[in-house]
A and B are shown apart, each in its own frame.
Chain A
Amino acid sequence: GEDVEQSLFLSVREGDSSVINCTYTDSSSTYLYWYKQEPGAGLQLLTYIFSNMDMKQDQRLTVLLNKKDKHLSLRIADTQTGDSAIYFCAESKNSSGSARQLTFGSGTQLTVLP
């Protein structure tokens, strides 16, 4: 099975909160990330959380990590039409090599309805 799983679609009304969920399988993951991809563009890092944390807040974004259940979520408060995009969850592990390798989920297409 996939290392990182996400639901494919989410629709919300403008002004509501969005919650995008992600599960991962590797308990040795050290960092977990949320990336945003707008149409025709590359991935942009939104936020990340270290595995020894359970919450991180950055303006409208709140990341919650349940390490026991290997569950990560991204909450976007006051969702705007500009938040419509694909959101990717990714995990990484400490590597004895020379780079941190990321494993991405399939992405969740967020559609914000006016």
Chain B
Amino acid sequence: DAGVIQSPRHEVTEMGQEVTLRCKPISGHNSLFWYRQTMMRGLELLIYFNNNVPIDDSGMPEDRFSAKMPNASFSTLKIQPSEPRDSAVYFCASSRTGFDEQYFGPGTRLTVT
């Protein structure tokens, strides 16, 4: 299996622009997690899905952030409009049932100038 796939690996954008991060979970996994990693706050869970349904989005920082999972093999995390403080590495992870090991993707490094 190719593992969790994220794109792009790096994104540089200007403040105010829309940013879309993409994730393809491991085939057969029915839970998907979005995390954000910063020096100041470490690794934080933003939102997770189970069977394509958002279960807990309490970690999403503000209304500028939204996440979707239109099918079992694809999820997006959108930031609109982006701000410099959104600069971070965003990880997607998937697990077989939600209670099993979470497999992490390589992350997307976002820089907002």
Complex interface residues of chain B between 70 and 113 (CB less than 8 A to chain A): 91, 93, 95, 98-99, 101-107
Interface membership of A34, Cβ < 8 A: no
B interface majority secondary structure:
strand
Q: How many A-B residue pairs have CB under 8 A?
A: 49
Q: How far is the CA of A98 from the CA of B4 in the complex (A)?
A: 20
Please indicate the chain B residues that have their CB under 8 angstroms from the CB of A41 in the complex. 106-107
Please indicate the chain B residues that have their CB under 8 angstroms from the CB of A104 in the complex. 42-43
Please indicate the chain A residues that have their CB under 8 angstroms from the CB of B102 in the complex. 45, 102
Please determine whether B101 and A42 come into contact, CB atoms closer than 8 angstroms.
no
Complex interface residues of chain A between 18 and 68 (CB less than 8 A to chain B): 40-45, 48
Please determine whether A99 and B99 come into contact, CB atoms closer than 8 angstroms.
yes
Please indicate the chain B residues that have their CB under 8 angstroms from the CB of A100 in the complex. 98-99
Count residues of B near A (Cβ-Cβ below 8 Å).
23
Please determine whether A97 and B56 come into contact, CB atoms closer than 8 angstroms.
yes
- Which residue in chain B gives the minimum CB-CB distance to A35? B104
Interface membership of B55, Cβ < 8 A: yes
Please determine whether A42 and B98 come into contact, CB atoms closer than 8 angstroms.
no
Which residues of B approach A to under 8 Å, CB–CB? Answer: 4, 31, 33, 42-43, 45, 48, 50-51, 55-56, 91, 93, 95, 98-99, 101-107
Which residues of A approach B to under 8 Å, CB–CB? Answer: 40-45, 48, 88, 97-102, 104-107
